[in-house]
Chains A and B, each alone.
Chain A
Amino acid sequence: MSGNMTKNTIVLGLGNPLMGDEAIGVKLIELLQSASGDFPEVDFIDAGTGGMNILHLLANRNKAIIIDCALMNQPPGTIKRFTPDEVQSVKNLAHLSLHEVDVLKVIELARSLGECPEQITFFAIQPESIEQRMSLSESLAGRLADYVQTIKKDLP
């Protein structure tokens, strides 16, 4: 309907710029978008905390890269690359509100519907602090260029 041409690869940045290191996915998408001319086959999307909307963003793509903040029991600032099958969620959802969303559950739903990209890669960054603040902690802010270089290696 919107007339947008869907590209084969999507890079999604998830997170909230009002919540400290939770902003990392959105911040990295901003940086990657500024270099989008080098990657004509890639859509870079700031998906914020859109939750279930990710389902629709994944549909009709071959490859998805999801950048998000993640509690992984790693030192703050650590970036890990993994597929959805290499992890299990230990997120505790009450299922009382639409607003609680686990991206891994959305991927499970997309797979059940036959709408999931064949290839999904996460780049997850361990936060130092999640609190109401409009800036990243030093552990993450000082490594933005490294993160961008790491993610770019996966882009077609």
Chain B
Amino acid sequence: MSKNIDINVHHLTRVEGHGNIRVNVTNGKIEMCQWQVPEAPRFFEAMVRGRRWDDIQTIVSRICGICSITHSLASTKAVEDALGIEVSEQADKLRILMHYSEQLQSHVLHVGYLVAPDLFRAPSVVPLIPKATDAVKTIIRAHRVANTWSDLLAGRTTHPTTLIPGGLTQIPKPDQLRDLQDTLKATIPDLVTICEVVLSVADKMPAFERQTEYVSLKQDNPPTYTFYHGGITSTDCNGQPPVPVQQWESVANEYVHPQSTAKWTKWHRDSYAVGALARFNNNAELLSPLGKKVAEMFGLEKGNCSPFMNNVAQLVEAAHVVETSIHMIDELLTTGLKEEKVKVTPKAGRGSGCVEAPRGILFHTYEFDKNGECTAANICIPTNQNHANIQKDFQKFVPEFLDQGQDELRLGLEMLVRSYDPCISCSTHMLNVEFVK
């Protein structure tokens, strides 16, 4: 066993916060083992106060460039809940189709650009290109399909322009949906290839499990592998009916922890996990045939408690959303698409919206006065819901992998954090450069 270890993955720039990994072992005794999140506090809730009900989505879509459709959908649903706005079946389906594009986009990006380099022992995706050229190109092709898919439904790749409380400002034409369907069919072999490539190096994932509570949406009527409708459940709920989304604060139980400026959460235990593996563990029997096939390829079964398998669950979901969307497009085309007018009368009210971001369940709540101006807001992002669980994983992982030495332990901990697909430092991407010529 290594007697002394000092790991300090410390990244704190002027504005952006990052997660820090701190482990200190002296003479074989673990003196520090922490996942620290010194992220600058976010005041997005304050920014929407005083804004009109139809401005909220535009603002919150900028909270995150990767989950912008998800934030837009959560806020739109919350506004609709507060103002009592009904949404047509057509708009509902098109929104779900839009949301699926973000699941594919994010999952492929995460597995392809962040997880695969770990498994191939490459420092990033760029040096991976000569080692696995075809695999990288296949990943990029699938990511590009997801981007053009969200362009079509959301109006552009990031920060959607088509969503409005009550419906959508524009709908795709039938021939555009047919083209999308053809493209999705042609993408399935690429997804299978990506799964095979990841499977070929899956033995590089650390063998680690920890009994965990997994929280996600659950939809019983009709039973659906849901990202959008339903209530909140967990693997500790033992068949209890899902909790209505309006009561999400009683699930998240947010609290302040000295290790982090981000709030932590807990429900039935000291911590819980959200994300693809949580959705899988609560809903796996409702996956599409291809989603189930991918799970079988990796031996992923309900009840799995390895955080690293979250990345496999992301592949399962990538297959599921593509296959499911192919069928949804058939349904939309069979019913026929029609332009719909949205009419909203503002009123006072409080409402909540909950959708599954690629990286886990996301909650938005707003209150409006009688003119439809926002008077209060509360947003709880999935990554904050995972922080406490990452800390609990660290506390089990470090003693189990201590004898692998400093470098392997550090890589293992970094992979563990990455497996959760965290959303940190997402609000600013500016350049930081020095001139060389």
Interface residues of chain A, those whose CB is within 8 Å of chain B, are: 1-4, 14-19, 22, 45-53, 55-57, 59, 68-73, 82, 85-105, 108-109, 112-113, 122, 124, 127, 130-132, 134
Please judge, given known A-B contacts A52-B109, A98-B110, A103-B431, whether A18 and B158 are in contact too, CB under 8 Å: no
In the complex, A16 Cα to B298 Cα: how many Å? Answer: 39
Interface residue? B119 (CB, 8 A) = no
B contact residues around A113 at 8 Å (CB): 129, 136-137, 140
A68 to B428 CA separation, bound complex (whole angstroms): 11
- Count how many chain B residues have C-beta atoms less than 8 Å from C-beta atoms of the other chain: 69
Choose among A72, A94, A103, A122 the residue with the greatest number of B CB atoms under 10 Å from its CB. A94
Does the CB pair B147–A51 fall under 8 Å? no
**Cα of A130 to Cα of B431 in the assembled complex, Å:** 12
Residue pair A97, B436 in contact (C-beta under 8 Å): no
Tell whether, in the assembled complex, residue A48 and residue B68 are in contact, meaning their CB atoms are under 8 Å apart: yes
Q: B152 to chain A: closest CB distance in Å?
A: 5
Expressed in whole angstroms, the Cα–Cα distance for A53 and B149 within the complex equals 13
Interface residues of B in 358-381 (CB under 8 A from A): none
Partner of B431, one of A17, A55, A68: A68
Partner of B125, one of A16, A94, A109: A109
Q: Which of A49, A53, A69, A85 contacts B62 (CB 8 A)?
A: A49
A52, B143: Cβ atoms closer than 8 Å: yes
B52 to chain A, nearest CB (A): 14
Chain A residues within an 8 Å CB radius of B152: 1-2
Q: Which B379-437 residues sit within 8 Å CB-CB of chain A?
A: 414, 417-418, 421-437
Chain B residues in 8 Å Cβ range of A131: 15
Q: Find out whether the CB atom of B47 lies under 8 angstroms from the CB atom of A1.
A: no
Neighbour of A53 across the interface among B46, B114, B158, B425, CB < 8 A: B158
Question: In the complex, what's the smallest C-beta–C-beta distance from B428 to chain A, in angstroms?
Answer: 5
Other-chain contact of A134, B47, B110, B151 (Cβ < 8 Å): B47
Nearest residue, chain A, Cβ from B151 = A2
Give bound CA distance, A65 to B59, whole Å. Answer: 26
